[in-house]
Amino acid sequence: MSFPIHRKRRLRVSEPMRRMVRENHLEPSQFVLPLFVVPGEGIRKPISSMPGNFQLSIDELVKECDKAHALGIGGVILFGIPDAKDDSASGAYAEEGIVQRALRAVRRALPKLLLITDVCNCEYTSHGHCGKIVNGDVDNDATLEWLAASAVSHARAGADIVAPSDMMDGRVAAIRGALDQSGFQNTAILAYAAKYASAFYGPFREAAESAPQFGDRRTYQMDPANGREAMHEMELDFEEGADLLMVKPALPYLDLIRQARDRFPVPISAYQVSGEFSMLMAAVERGWLEYERAMMESLISIRRAGADIILTYFACDAARLLG
Ligand code: PBG
């Protein structure tokens, strides 16, 4: 017998061959596009660190959602930037809050577009932290009330899925209870279950104007050194009733996406965050990386690791490429 018997290159000889043996695929329906909404009209303000992304007033947001919907993407996730911030994040759960108004407008224009909302307080607090400050730190249980109120107001305004990103303990149970009590048994919860205190959120905080004014988020978001703890976080959110679980960021945490996929029966999502997007775009702008190839490789890697759903600022361009 001549060596080698196995020639792996046989299955790579042509695109039809490669296509037939391809293990993983991307589809527009797996992508969720994050969008930032601001008060006003006719506003389309570029986010300098995130080329192609904007702060949008509601009228412009509806147009953007229309485009995304036409490309067949899975859904959009909305982030609000209010007119005014205060100590009690009142804009987060106001019936006339920016996200609530945006939801009603998009729901009216595009009844079939899947609408997800980020449930958090950091865009709405004057100090930029994700909850109520008591003695210099975010108070867990007081914050749960704000989160539950926000989730219910989002559901009432038309959200299909609410996605708590605050990392308070017990928030999924608190939100589930509040939704059920208000008659929103069918509103699903996508828990940002394993969310790290990551440097890769930098550009987002410019986009959402949500940088903490003192300290950092390490007393509530996870330590990047910990993987076992991520499984415990996800276990807790699953037991509290989360319908979908998320790992965030994505590329630096592919190991955890894989572990989560193997361990839980629910859909696993991964958030390719602002910093992951921006660093790739920066290299593209310098001519150091090929845009389409680098984008698609990053997305298929997240998919190969086990993500069923990818939240990504590339959602529209990737969907367009997939045709
Ligand atoms: C809100 C929130 C953040 C992101 C999503 N929801 C920022 C943060 O925790 O500071 C980050 C998203 C991104 O970087 O693209 N808490």
Q: Using one digit for the tens of pLDDT, what is the confidence trace for 143-162?
A: 999 999 999 999 999 999 99
pLDDT value of residue 45: 97
CB burial readout 191-221, b (16+ within 10 A) else e: bbbbbbebebbbbbbbbbbbeeeeeebeebb
**Distance from residue 274's CA to the centre of ligand 1 (Å):** 8
Atom 5 (ligand 1) nearest CA: 165
Tokens of 178: 């509040």
* Percent of the chain at pLDDT exceeding 90: 97
pLDDT at 4: 87
- Tell me the C-alpha distance between 321 and 312, whole Å: 15
* Confidence category of residue 3, pLDDT binned at 50, 70, 90: confident
Residue 300 CA to ligand 1 centre (angstroms): 22
Catalytic residue among 8, 67, 85, 195: 195
195 has catalytic annotation? yes
How confident is the model at residue 2, as a pLDDT?
A: 75
Query: Ligand 1 pocket by C-beta < 6 Å: which residues?
Result: 118, 120, 122, 130, 165, 201, 204-205, 210, 273-274
Residues contacting 186, CB < 8 A, separation 6+: none
> For 24-209+218-244, which CATH superfamily applies?
Aldolase class I (3.20.20.70)
State if pTM tops 0.95.
yes
Strands 115-119 and 75-80, how do they pair? parallel
Query: What is the Cα–Cα distance from 98 to 95, expressed in whole angstroms?
Result: 9
Q: What pLDDT digit, counting tens, does each position of 70-105 carry?
A: 999 999 999 999 999 999 999 999 999 999 999 999
In this structure, is the dihedral angle defined by the CA atoms of residues 195, 201, 204 and 208, taken in order, positive or negative?
positive
Stated as kind and residue range, the H or E segment containing 206 is: helix 202-208
Torsion angle, alpha carbons of 176, 178, 180, 185, to 10: -60
Please give the distance, rounded to the nearest whole angstrom, from the Cα atom of residue 201 to the centre of ligand 1: 6
- Domains of the chain, by residue range, sit at 24-209+218-244
Task: Using CB atoms within 10 Å of the CB of residue 7, give its burial: 0 to 12 exposed, 13 to 18 middle, 19+ buried.
Answer: exposed
Structure confidence at residue 123 (pLDDT): 96
pLDDT of res. 198: 97
pLDDT single digits (tens) 268-311 = 999 999 999 999 999 999 999 999 999 999 999 999 999 999 99
- Best of 77, 117, 123, 165 for a ligand 1 pocket test (most atoms within 8 Å of beta carbon): 165
Q: Average pLDDT for residues 136-149, to the nearest whole number?
A: 96
Structure token pair of residue 301:
């890697």
Catalytic residue among 45, 85, 112, 248: 248
Report the alpha-carbon distance of residue 55 to residue 43 in Å, rounded.
Answer: 7
Whether the per-residue pLDDT at 1 is higher than 70: the answer is: no
**Model confidence pLDDT, tens digit, residues 26-68:** 999 999 999 999 999 999 999 999 999 999 999 999 999 999 9
Mean residue pLDDT across the chain: 97
Q: Which ligand 1 atom is nearest residue 202's CA?
A: 14
Ligand 1 center to residue 131 CA distance, Å? 14
Look at residue 232 in the predicted model and tell me its pLDDT: 98
